[in-house]
Structure 1
């Protein structure tokens, strides 16, 4: 069976008062999936919006990936199979 698909991800960023929020929307042609992420500038650090964008967008995309995996696991279970256990690596950076 051959299959091709094209999915689009849109990431929107908003920064205000040293806090950046990100929203990542995945369009698959079915139910849309959204991930969210935030970042904040630590007191005493230089306010560099591009760094906040990177952290917030990365966290939103990681959240989107987790939500996509959850959707896939539910689909697998709906077809009578058990999904493989997932593992995650913790990060030391504050959210």
Structure 2
């Protein structure tokens, strides 16, 4: 079976003084997930708004990715694939922590 989907992520950035907030929203049609990210500029650093935008946006996307992964693991478990414990065994990027 061949399928083609297009998921769009809406990213809103808001800057206030030395802080940039980002909100990334993904609507999969089944779920709506919102990732959040923040960047704070050290007052002693040069004011380069693009850097705050990039950091806040990347952190929001990272948060969104973590939530999407948790959602996928939950769906796998609900489908009876027996992988619900997989999330516990693996670290945040697919590496396995030392045996306990």
Deviations 1:40-81 (A, max 9, x none): 001310111110000000000000000000100000011122
Higher relative contact order (CA 8 A, sep 6+): 1
What TM-score, normalized to structure 1? 0.85
Give the structure with higher Rg (CA): 2
Report what 1:44 is aligned to.
44
**Structure 1 residue 22, shift from structure 2 partner:** 0.1
Q: Is residue 2:55 matched to residue 1:55? A: yes
Where structure 1 has 5 or more consecutive residues not aligned to the other structure, the ranges are 89-95
What TM-score, normalized to structure 2? 0.81
Report what 2:97 is aligned to.
none
2 CA distance for matches of 1:13 and 1:22? 5
Where structure 2 has 5 or more consecutive residues not aligned to the other structure, the ranges are 94-100
Deviations 1:15-62 (A, max 9, x none): 001100000000211221110000000131011111000000000000
RMSD, matched Cα: 1.3
Report what 1:13 is aligned to.
13
Report what 1:87 is aligned to.
92
Structure 1 stretches of 4+ with a deviation exceeding 2 A read 83-88
